[in-house]
């Protein structure tokens, strides 16, 4: 039995640039990943199968449209491997939450099956295959802070050291339809992300469209901004999860305690 973590993805900034003829958007984003995430296990088998457990298992769905199985099929086809795998996913990342849960799971499946099947593919080859599975999947294969442009799948290093930064993730338990949030963007290009720009000077250009769909996001952002010791408060992806970066792990834990007894989903963690 082999094991692979599927770290949650956060967007520390997300600037929308233009709508594309293919229905996607050109954007610039700072991706980061957290110690918190899903976990995937696999053992060799003749067929491909997937079982899901965990808090968000039902919302994720075990059907053949699950991105884990689509990733496994894509890797098997591209590599010509004949066997299968029995995959077990522990689903802890909220679904439709701006945390790239499905993309993280697909990326973990590529890394895990590359090992299980002894394919020996190097990272760039896995990243290239990942682009066919979704715009965020290449970044999730790397699972390291990086800069993304194009659909989010053209990757470059991000110069600032972020590893170890304490972060609190908060979601008001409203599932967000990603394409509807993109469609709600007003189409104004407010400028790109200069390499190495200070994160505090950057934005998430989907925030207004997301708040228009799910008003509780504004309350989450306001509560996070009221906490002591934060260095950044921002919505991730198309929402509804928001994040706060903190100066210290103590400040993060005190912040989580201050939010206290809400119905909101929360995860105190740190950036990878
Ligand atoms: O690539 P993925 O399947 O994760 O994207 C989900 C949806 O998000 C797309 O169908 C599209 O509506 C939207 N999207 C976009 N521009 C991007 C990435 C995603 O419009 N760069």
pLDDT digits (tens, 9 = 90+) for 183-225: 999 999 999 999 889 999 999 999 999 999 999 999 999 999 9
* pLDDT at residue 261, as a whole number: 72
Distance 221 CA to ligand 1 centre (A): 24
Distance 40 CA to ligand 1 centre (A): 24
Q: Which residues of the chain have pLDDT under 50?
A: none
Q: Quick check: CB of 151 below 6 Å from ligand 1?
A: yes
pLDDT of residue 58: 81
Distance 18 CA to ligand 1 centre (A): 13
Q: Which two tokens stand for residue 202?
A: 């950057």
Q: Which of 178, 192, 206 to mutate to test the pocket of ligand 1 (most atoms within 8 A of CB)?
A: 178
* pLDDT for res 35: 98
Q: Using CA atoms, how far apart are residues 205 and 232, in angstroms rounded to an integer?
A: 15
Confidence (pLDDT) at 18: 98
CA 19 – ligand 1 centroid, Å: 11
Out of 38, 105, 136, 153, which one is annotated catalytic?
A: 136
* Residue 244 confidence (pLDDT): 98
Known catalytic residue at 136: yes
Among protein residues, the one whose CA lies closest to atom 15 of ligand 1: 24
Q: Is the pTM of this model over 0.95?
A: yes
Distance 179 CA to ligand 1 centre (A): 6
Whether 9 is catalytic is yes
Give the number of the atom of ligand 1 that is nearest the alpha carbon of residue 182: 20
- CB of residue 134 inside a 6 A radius of ligand 1: yes
Q: Is the CB of 178 under 6 A from ligand 1?
A: yes
């Amino acid at each position: 039995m082999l094991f692979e973590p599927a770290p949650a993805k956060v967007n520390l900034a997300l600037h929308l640039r233009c709508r594309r003829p293919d229905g996607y958007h050109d954007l610039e984003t700072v991706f980061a990943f957290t110690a918190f995430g899903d976990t995937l296990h696999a053992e060799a088998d003749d067929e491909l199968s997937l079982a899901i457990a965990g808090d968000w298992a039902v919302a994720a769905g075990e059907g053949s449209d699950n991105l884990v199985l689509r990733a496994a099929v894509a890797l098997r086809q591209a590599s010509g491997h004949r066997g299968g795998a029995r995959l077990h996913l522990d689903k802890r990342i909220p679904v439709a939450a701006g945390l790239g849960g499905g993309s993280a799971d697909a990326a973990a499946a590529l890394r895990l099956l590359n090992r299980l099947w002894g394919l020996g593919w190097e990272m760039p080859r896995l990243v290239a295959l990942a682009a066919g599975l979704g715009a965020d999947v290449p970044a999730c294969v790397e699972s390291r802070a990086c800069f993304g442009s194009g659909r989010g799948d053209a990757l470059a290093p991000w110069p600032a050291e972020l590893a170890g930064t304490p972060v609190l993730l908060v979601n008001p338990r409203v599932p967000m339809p990603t394409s509807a949030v993109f469609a709600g963007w007003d189409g104004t290009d407010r400028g790109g992300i200069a390499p190495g720009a200070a994160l505090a000077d950057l934005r998430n250009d989907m925030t207004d469209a997301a708040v228009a769909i799910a008003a509780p996001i504004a309350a989450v952002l306001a509560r996070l901004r009221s906490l002591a010791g934060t260095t950044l408060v921002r919505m991730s992806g198309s929402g509804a999860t928001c994040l706060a970066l903190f100066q210290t792990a103590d400040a993060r834990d005190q912040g989580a305690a201050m939010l206290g007894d809400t119905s909101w989903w929360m995860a105190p963690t740190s950036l990878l």
